[in-house]
Amino acid sequence: MIRKKILMLGDFAVGKTSLVRHYIDNTFDDVYLTTIGVKVSKKMLAVNHVELELLIWDIEGETPSKKIPKAYFKGASGAIIVCDASRKETVEGIREHIGDLLAFNREAKYVIAYNKSDLLSAQQKETLSLSENTFLTSAKDGSQIDILFTTLAKEILL
């Protein structure tokens, strides 16, 4: 079995914890509760006949006044960069989070989640130009969450 550490990165209140909770427990609660520090959850996966244990680091969201402790980045093989598709400022923060990740590990892989897609109209979704490995997710209705994590897992094992 292979163990890999992945990070959930993104601004506060973009839904990182909700994505993890949906992926691990298949539950959702729309009450916002701030994450502080880090909570590590485990998920077993079989990727291309390889047994993989993902150690998912749900990290507190970054705010202008509170940066993510650098120790959290050490040893990470990859990250899910999460933004709230309905909040432009969090989408603009994606680039910085990718930069933070790669500053610690140039080889780290990442995928991007435009979360809370359930809040977007069909027209708004159409106008989004999403690059490869970017997913329109919703922790509320569960859309594209499994593929988000498995895509990252495959990238890491490449």
Partner 1 sequence: MRNVQIILNAILSKNIFEYILVDRKLHVISASQGVRKYVNAMPKEGDDVLEYLPELVGNEEEIKQIFVEKYCLYTLESVYKNNDYVNISVEYCDQNTAIILLHNITAITRAQQNLLQYSNESTLLYNTLQKVVDSQNTMLFVTNAEKIEFANKKFLNFFHAENIEEIQKKELKLYQKLDASLQNYRELFVSLKEGEKYLKLGKDIFIVQATQIEAAHTLFTLTKITDFPHEMQLDPLTGLYRKDYLNEMVEKSLQEKRNFALVVMDLDNFKQINDTYGHLTGDKVLKAFVMLLKQHIRKTDLLVRWGGDEFLLFLEDGSPENAILKIENIRKLIDEYHFETIDHLSCSFGLSYTKENDSVDSLLQRADKALYEAKIKGKNKVLFKEE
Least separation in angstroms between residue 120's CB and partner 1 is 15
x/- binding map, residues 103-132, to partner 1, per CB under 8 A?
------------------------------
145-157 and 16-25 helices, crossing angle to 10°: 90
Burial classification of residue 28, based on how many CB atoms lie within 10 Å of its CB (0-12 exposed, 13-18 middle, 19 or more buried): middle
The rounded distance, in Å, linking the Cα atoms of 57 and 68 is 12
Q: Among 50, 63, 96, 128, which residue sits at the site for partner 1 (rule: CB under 8 A)?
A: 63
Least separation in angstroms between residue 109's CB and partner 1 is 14
Q: Among 1, 33, 122, 158, which residue sits at the site for partner 1 (rule: CB under 8 A)?
A: 33
The answer to the question of residue 77 lying near partner 1 (CB under 8 A) is: yes
119: DSSP letter: G
- Residues near 149 by Cβ (< 8 Å), separated by ≥ 6? 23, 43, 45, 54, 56, 80
Q: Among 50, 75, 92, 95, which residue sits at the site for partner 1 (rule: CB under 8 A)?
A: 75
Cβ(65)–Cβ(96) under 8 Å? no
Closer of 68 and 134 to partner 1 (Cβ): 68
The rounded distance, in Å, linking the Cα atoms of 99 and 20 is 22
Closer of 47 and 55 to partner 1 (Cβ): 55
Least separation in angstroms between residue 63's CB and partner 1 is 7
The answer to the question of residue 141 lying near partner 1 (CB under 8 A) is: no
Residues that bind partner 1 (CB under 8 A): 3-5, 12-13, 32-34, 36-40, 42, 55, 60-61, 63, 65-66, 69, 71-72, 74-77, 87, 89
